[in-house]
Amino acid sequence: MATENKNLSAYDKDKVPFAKGYRFGLVVSQWNPEITEGLYQGAEAALLDCGALAGNLHRLNVPGSFELPFGCKKLIDWGEVDAVIAIGSVIQGETKHFDFVCSATAQGIMDLNVQTKVPVIFCVLTDNTMEQAKDRSGGRHGNKGTEAAIAAIEMAALSKK
């Protein structure tokens, strides 16, 4: 696993652009809420730690990961964000549903990055087990939401250059 022996929550605040002037969208899947809420909390905490203002964080909930691209597009269309973080969790089951949801979600988020001027960060866990998802959403590997927040800040700064 790519996260083995890596803490996803580790970042050097001195190397991250100051986030005070940026507005962030956080689109959160309601499927697997134990995981997605942990990811959201990690992202929110990192954004605030790096200077983002609480009033500049805009949360939008969607039913599942498949709906994340639509939610991200809505926030972009409303013109209130400099970067968006798509937060979801898809856990392998016994059918191919996992493959279709993961592929479509990744493709939809990638399409938004190519078609719009607002960066969209992929913070969708695609794990084999619930334990793996817990480990990466605030557990023993840290929090992928934190990592996504740092990427969002960096991309917001890049898009303003």
State the SS3 of the chain.
Answer: CCCCCCCCCCCCHHHCCCCCCCCEEEEEECCCHHHHHHHHHHHHHHHHHCCCCHHHEEEEEECCHHHHHHHHHHHHHHCCCCEEEEEEEEECCCCCHHHHHHHHHHHHHHHHHHHCCCCEEEEEEEECCHHHHHHCEEECCEEHHHHHHHHHHHHHHHHHC
- Catalytic residue (one of 97, 103, 128, 160): 97
Q: Is 141 a catalytic residue?
A: no
Residues with catalytic function: 97
